[in-house]
Each structure stands twice: as structure tokens, then as C-alpha cells.
Amino acid sequence: MAKVHNFSAGPCILPQEVFQEAAAAVINFDNLNLSILEISHRSASFVSVMDEARQLVKDLLGVPEGYSVLFLQGGASTGFLMAPYNLLTQNGKAAYVNTGTWAKKAVKEAKRLGNVDVVGSSEDKNYNYIPKGFEVPADADYLHITSNNTIVGTQFKEFPTVNTSLVCDMSSDIFSREVNVADFDVIYAGAQKNLGPAGATVYIVKDEVFNKSGRDIPEMLNYATHASKDSMFNTPPVYSTYVSMLNMRYMMKNGGVAGMQKKAEERAGLLYDEIDNNPLFEGTAAKEDRSNMNATFVLTDESVKDKFDAMWNAAGISGLKGHRSVGGYRASMYNALPIESVQVLVDVMKKLKG
């Protein structure tokens, strides 16, 4: 089978050994002669999976005491609504930084419940930079940011320091770099980038924010409800949680988050160096804000587009087309992408230059 170099923006590439273990469990999980797809989520075998998955999140990210780790359904899109339900008081307001499509969706959901102050935005330049120097109102119930922006290829390199709750959607760069969890009250992330297959969303919630809003919160949107039931208020995303657990085991064996960060920096450095030094290519994100996960770039000479597209397809590269709102190309380089795949892309770019 020919090697495919997977630069898809998500669902993500995962390590081959994780695929193999996950595939075996579909046939026979935990020597039960039952599939992981058919066992009870209340069974001892799956409860141990959920417990290990939550503990691995704590171990990998150094989650301090006083935080709950949850594996829930609904993706980050549900997380957009959970944040204001749980943190935005009836007569209060929330502060948001608008850095692209997903941040804009988070703003829209928060506005359903109350006042929202967009304290920083990069919409004026098609979101190609991270806003800086913005001020958060002293009376804001929380500040919401999106750490990495997959579509436009920007990333917060430093997180803002605030005197209120900091909430972060880390869907596309969680586990790719070290973070100080204690700086955040809520971190949430869809699994389908660096963690596992689509279906699960991980939440890291400071217990002090439970019921902070004083609202009558629907049970499925209440952090406290899920924490009190160890992520099993309803049937959890069993298979996605299991594969995420396997992938976190893999990360632990391969240098942890520090190891993942080192590889991310190497991959990004290799590709951005070629983008900057090859006159046929130009990056679309501000250099100081470039994402280590999603490199976005365009051709400077559209007459070679067909040739370039044919070349990278012939090289076994998949998922390189840019998002329709940006155009050009997007190379998503999540944790499991080997640097050899980036080198294949760089070699194609060099060959195009001639």
C-alpha cells in the first residue's frame, strides 16, 4: 500500500499503533469476546477506560487539584453554549476575542444568553493575525479565546493574563504544547485534531466555576452535572473516548506534551522555512502568529497551480487544499504526522521552483 501523507485539517491523523489497537478492540475488547462498540458503558471494563482517560489528561497536562476532567459529546460547538450557560451571570457580560470562524461562532452562541463585548478582533484582515493589547472589562464574567485557528492558520503564542475566568477552546492544538492549566478556568477541545477520533470532547473545568452563573442550566449543558456523574450522566462517546485513551498512552510513551511540542516546532519550522525562501509561495498568516498546527500559504504565480497540484497528488499527499474562505493551501501538522511527510511536501515545493 502506497504511503499517504495526511495533512487533513480534521479528523486528524493518528499513530498506526493506535489504529491497530483500536481495530482489535472492535472485534474483541478486554478479552470479553465482545466489541468495544457493544459493551455497556456501565461495565467495569469501560469504567476503567473512562477513569484512565481522565487521569491521562491530568498527567499529560499537569492538571492541578480542584479541576474536573470530562469526556462529553457535542463537540466544541456545544462547548460554545456551555461556557455562557455556566459562567455568564444574568446581568453580567462576557468578553470574547474574535480570531476566526470558530471564535465567531462562540460569540454568536454567547449572545443568546446575554451581553457580549468583543474586546479584540482580527476580522479587518481576514483573521490573518492575533489581536494584541486588548483590554478586558473589569466587570466581565469571563474572557473566551480560541487558542489555534485552523482555517486561517494563526495561534496564540502567549495567553492573556486576566483578572477574571479565562475560557479557551483548544480544539486544534491541545496536547501539542505545554500550557499552565492553572491559568484557565475552563479548557475544552474536540478530540478530532490531536486527541482522537471525532465524537468526544474533553473539558478541563475548575470546580470553583460550577454554578457560577446562577442560571437554571439544562442538565446536558451543566458542567457540574457531568462532573458529579464522572462523565456518565448519559451514555458517553465510548469508542472515541477509548481511542483517545490509547492515543494519550502513546503520547506518554513518546515524551509527553513536551515531546509533542518539540516535534510540532520541528515540523512547522521545516515547512515555514520553505514557504519563506521559495519565491513561488507566500504565507497568509502574520509571521509572529503562525500556527504550528495549520500552515496556510498561497502561490505567488497562479500559472503553476495545475502543475503543483499534480505534483503533490502524485507524491501521495492528501488534504492540502486550503479552506474555501482563505483559498490556497493548508498543511495541517497534528501530533501524529511524521516529519518525513513534511519533508515530502517541502521536496515537492523545491522541485516546483526548479
CB 172 within 8 A of CB 198: no
DSSP annotation of 219 reads G
Report the distance separating Cα 96 and Cα 144, nearest Å.
5
The amino acid sitting at 172 is S
Catalytic choice (102, 141, 206, 212): 102
Neighbours of 177 (CB within 10 A): 21
Clarify whether 193 is annotated catalytic: yes
- Per the annotation, the verdict on 183 as an active-site residue is no
Tell me the β-bridge partners of 190: 201
Active-site position among 173, 185, 193, 212: 193
State the alpha helices, DSSP H only, in 184-289: 223-228, 238-253, 256-277
Q: How far apart are CA 170 and CA 261, in angstroms?
A: 15
CB under 8 Å to 193, separation ≥6 — which residues? 10, 11, 12, 150, 171, 172, 173, 174, 293, 334
Classify 109 as helix, strand or coil: helix
CA dist., res. 197 & res. 73, Å (int): 12
> Taking Cα atoms as reference points, which of 105, 78, 346 lies closest to residue 218?
78
In angstroms, how far is CA 285 from the centroid of its own chain? 18
In this structure, which long-range contacts are made by residues 111-118, counting pairs with CB atoms below 8 Å and at least 24 apart in sequence? 112/81, 112/84, 113/84, 113/85, 113/88, 113/215, 114/84, 114/88, 114/89, 114/90, 117/93
312 an active-site residue?
no
Direct distance between the N- and C-terminal alpha carbons of the chain, in angstroms, rounded to an integer = 29
Following CA atoms 190, 193, 196, 202 in sequence, which dihedral angle do they give, to the nearest 10 degrees? Answer: -30
Catalytic residue among 141, 169, 185, 289: 169
| Whole-Å CA distances, 170 to 54, 265, 269, 328 | 17, 17, 21, 24
Question: Which residues are known to be catalytic?
Answer: 102, 169, 193
